[in-house]
Every structure is written in C-alpha cells, then in structure tokens.
C-alpha cells in the first residue's frame, strides 16, 4: 500500500509540475531555461499569493527539478541514435526493447521521486487558503478547463 501511495503521489506531483510549466504561454520546446523557470514561479506565486519565503522555496524546487531533467536529457541524442539503429535491424530482440523501456521508466521514476519529495515539503508550507486555491485549480483542470483561458 505504501508503495502504491508513493507512486500515486509521485505521478500527481510530476503532473502538477509539468502542468504548471505547460500553463506558461510561449513555452520553449528546446528546453526549460531560467526565463521559463521564473515564469512558472511567478505564475504559481501569483495564483496562490505566496509569501517571500514560499516563493524562494518554489524557486529552489523548480530550479532543482529543471537541473535534474536537463541532466537526464543529456544523453538523449545517443539514445535516439541507438533506437534508430535498433529499428534498422532485420529483427529486434525483445530483451533489448524491455531493457530500453526499463531504463526510460527508471529515469522517469527518479524525476518523479524528486518532484514528490520536494512538493510534499512545499505543501507543508502552504496555508489552508493556499491549499484550497491549489485544490480548486486542480479540480478546474480535471473538469476540462484550460490554463490558457485565464
């Protein structure tokens, strides 16, 4: 049960961070630079009326998350070339495919665990009013409203 709870928390945290990042107008597909990070922090701080210390904590989380994601993407070209080489083969070994999938899940799990740990700590700093605003935003998002309609 604890493992399932951790997985759900990790996925929700990852989706929350990804969702908040995606809500920024004009996001760059080439990377998540300092401008993008600051835009996410400013948007969340504005929506939740964060205090200075909460905003600083969020900046640390976003920066750490972006650095980790960048580190995990460092060998992207190599992995894509390996995939292209694999596809060119006459037959594909299922064990190699399973290994590649496991490798990808391990990288995503590492990122999700970081997000979960940091966001759980950040959640503890929120006031009940801020938590309610965040919950309402999540409910609106689940109901199909777009963050671009703000």
- Phi, psi (degrees; rounded to nearest 5) at 96: -65, -40
Quick one: 113 exposed, middle or buried, by C-beta within 10 A (0-12, 13-18, 19+)?
A: middle
Per-residue pLDDT at 12 exceeds 80: no
Mean pLDDT score across all residues of the chain: 79
pLDDT at residue 132 in the model: 92
pLDDT in tens, 133-147: 988 888 888 877 555
pLDDT grade for 38, boundaries at 50, 70 and 90? confident
Domain chopping of the chain, boundaries: 2-149
Position 88 scores a pLDDT of 93
Under the banding of pLDDT at 50, 70 and 90, the label for residue 27 is very low
């Amino acid at each position: 049960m604890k493992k399932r709870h951790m997985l759900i928390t990790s996925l929700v945290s990852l989706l929350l961070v990804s969702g908040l990042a995606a809500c920024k107008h004009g996001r760059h597909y080439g990377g998540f630079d300092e401008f993008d990070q600051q835009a996410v922090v400013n948007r969340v701080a504005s929506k939740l009326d964060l205090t200075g210390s909460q905003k600083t904590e969020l900046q640390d989380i976003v920066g750490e998350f972006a650095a980790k994601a960048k580190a995990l993407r460092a060998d992207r070209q190599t992995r894509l070339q390996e995939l292209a080489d694999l596809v060119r083969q006459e037959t594909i070994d299922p064990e190699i495919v399973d290994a590649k999938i496991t490798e990808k899940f391990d990288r995503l799990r590492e990122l999700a665990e970081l997000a979960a740990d940091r966001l759980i700590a950040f959640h503890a700093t929120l006031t009940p009013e801020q938590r309610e605003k965040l919950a309402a935003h999540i409910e609106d998002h689940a109901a199909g409203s777009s963050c671009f309609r703000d």
